Structure 1
Amino acid sequence: MAGSAACMVHCLALPLLLAAVPAAAAIIVIPESFHRWVLLLAVPLAAIALLGGRARHAALWPLCLGAAGLSLLMIGAFALSEGGIERAVTVTGGILVALAHAANLRLRHGCGAP
């Protein structure tokens, strides 16, 4: 549960951090490979959290939503060059993963139980 909560906080904060990156880039040098390295850490952690939720509450849709978001994040990081489309795909993926974690957390606590 702590892993799911930590990942949800990460995914909710990521869009805010991404919005601050252009301003921070004037002060801090962030390599282009940073997104790929963070993604290589985030994918297994998110998968563990979402699969754990699925095992507990049995709802498949948060896992599918999270998988779609992670797929978009991977496409943005590994298949698209930097630009408007890459940013849109990455932000959309981050939002989907955040929504999946929020749904997973709600279902695990019985708020969305049928």
Structure 2
Amino acid sequence: MKDLLGACLSGLCMVHCLFTPVLLALGSAAAIGTWFESEWVHYLLLAPISLILVWSLPLSWIKHRNTKPLLMGSLGFSLLLTSLFVPAQAEPVLAIVGSLTLISAHLLNRRLLNSSSSHSFPD
């Protein structure tokens, strides 16, 4: 459940990056586009993404011992954070790549957890 929520939140971040320029290009939706472009929206999206990431991936590593989701999640989150401090042209690229990396990390983590629980024996 945590990984699905994390993947959805990362997807929401990607949708934000993709559709904010579209909203800004539409004259009637400029107010919404300007609101979406505000810095605090980026932090509002990053807060739950970081909490789910910290809650899900390290604890799951204890169960399946595969470092790939943890490394991918760290890379994806680093790209999202970096996107806040780069020029405006690079921001969406880094954020979209970071979001896709985070989605992949969460989905891989979920698959590993499901496969490790199906192979475990009851006590």
| Interval of TM-score (by shorter of Structure 1 and Structure 2) | 0.7 to 0.9
Match of 1:16 in 2: 15
Query: Aligned-pair distance for 1:39?
Result: 1.2
Match of 1:75 in 2: 82
Match of 1:92 in 2: 97
Alignment partners' CA distance in 2, 1:90 and 1:17: 10
Q: Secondary structure at the match of 1:103?
A: helix
Alignment partners' CA distance in 2, 1:18 and 1:87: 6
Is residue 60 from structure 1 mapped to residue 67 from structure 2 by the alignment?
yes
One-letter amino acid of the counterpart of residue 63, structure 1: L
Contact 2:17 2:92 in 1 (8 A): no
Query: Aligned-pair distance for 1:16?
Result: 2.9
Alignment partners' CA distance in 1, 2:61 and 2:43: 26
Query: Aligned-pair distance for 1:9?
Result: 1.8
Report the TM-score, using the length of structure 1 for normalisation: 0.81
One-letter amino acid of the counterpart of residue 3, structure 2: S
Residue identity over aligned pairs, in percent, reads 20
Question: Structure 1: where are the runs of 5+ without partners?
Answer: none
Query: Aligned-pair distance for 1:4?
Result: 2.0
Contact 2:60 2:109 in 1 (8 A): yes
Aligned residues: 110
- Calculate the aligned-residue CA RMSD, in Å: 2.2
Alignment partners' CA distance in 1, 2:88 and 2:54: 26
Query: Aligned-pair distance for 1:45?
Result: 1.8
Question: Structure 2: where are the runs of 5+ without partners?
Answer: 25-29, 119-123
Give the structure with the larger helix fraction.
2
Larger deviation, residues 19-28 vs 38-47: 19-28
